[in-house]
Structure 1
């Protein structure tokens, strides 16, 4: 079973991940990435996901009880988490975040 949605074209599906990619990303972002996140990226480095809603204890823009995520960004420069600092500045978000999904207002 996989969480990844099979699509012909997926701009968030990046080249296969290597241990070197992970080490480089953690150094550049100055974080240790969660084990569960890395485990799914070793199967596929980002992409659209089959199950796009996650329970939320508080109301969100999408509904009373869930938050929506259409894709998970992998480790890479374009359409990946290495773009986090650029988007944090563009969207006026707090420093120190690693963005794995979103489009500015979500």
Structure 2
């Protein structure tokens, strides 16, 4: 069993809930003009967005960000309706084009970054500072790299 397969059943704080369907995922991909990562689709088929479990609510960084010297938060994964708001939010926050925003509420965001490839990297964006930081080359590597925010010292 892969690390992702072990993560998947415990990913959501409250367990499975109302799930995205294959039809809603396909419609979202058409509207967004991208292919969503298979692992993201698997998580959304369990629950169409919401709070993630405490054991996977942060991603460690090699460089400091405006959030922390050591990590970025990932407390919420957007569902389909929020993913579809990406274009509006990109315009509002002056973010680069070709993103699908996974999490955040401005000015900081974590997004699928399709600027260089049809297989998106996962990137941190800070609209206030105009900075970005590559977190993982794929969504799967991002998901498998999630850790508890409680594992980091308080700043």
Which bin holds the TM-score, normalised by the shorter protein? 0.7 to 0.9
Query: What secondary structure sits across from 1:67 in the alignment?
Result: strand
Per the normalisation by structure 2, the TM-score is 0.58
State the 1:15 CA deviation.
Answer: 4.4
State the 1:66 CA deviation.
Answer: 0.9
Query: What secondary structure sits across from 1:93 in the alignment?
Result: coil
Per the normalisation by structure 1, the TM-score is 0.83
Structure 1: gaps spanning 5 or more residues: 8-13
Do residues 4 (structure 1) and 7 (structure 2) align? no
- Greater strand percent: which structure? 2
State the 1:46 CA deviation.
Answer: 0.5
Q: Give the 4+ runs in structure 1 shifted more than 2 A.
A: none
1:44-55 to 2 correspondences below 5 Å = 44-50=47-53, 51-55=56-60
How many residues align structurally? Answer: 98
Structure 2: gaps spanning 5 or more residues: 1-8, 109-155
Higher RCO by CA contacts (8 Å cutoff, separation 6 or greater): 1
State the 1:29 CA deviation.
Answer: 0.5
Paired position in structure 1 for 2:20: 17
**RMSD of aligned alpha carbons:** 1.9
Paired position in structure 1 for 2:62: 57
